[in-house]
Amino acid sequence: MKSVTLNVQGMSCSHCVNAIEGAMKEIGANGKVDLAANKVTVDYDESKVNLDKIKEAIEEQGYDVE
């Protein structure tokens, strides 16, 4: 398992948390949102998911990954 922490802009409420964490589950990753810090920590298996796919899944929910 690999872990990465991403800066994500545009998150403001529990809906944002649910949207991002749900999107991570859909692609086979485990995401944990830190709303106060505007960060998402993602644990994932590199043989199944790559960093580009993680960023794309977050951006598809309407958030900006820096």
The CATH number of whichever domain residue 41 belongs to comes to 3.30.70.100
- Write the pLDDT tens digit of every residue in 5-19: 999 999 999 999 999
Burial (CB < 10 A; 0-12, 13-18, 19+), residue 65, is middle
Domain carrying residue 23: 2-65
**Separation CA 16–CA 61 (nearest Å):** 9
Q: Are 66 and 9 in contact (CB under 8 A)?
A: yes
**Separation CA 28–CA 6 (nearest Å):** 17
Query: Which pLDDT score, from 0 to 100, does residue 1 have?
Result: 92
What's the structural domain count of the chain?
A: 1
Query: Which pLDDT score, from 0 to 100, does residue 14 have?
Result: 95
Q: Are 54 and 29 in contact (CB under 8 A)?
A: yes
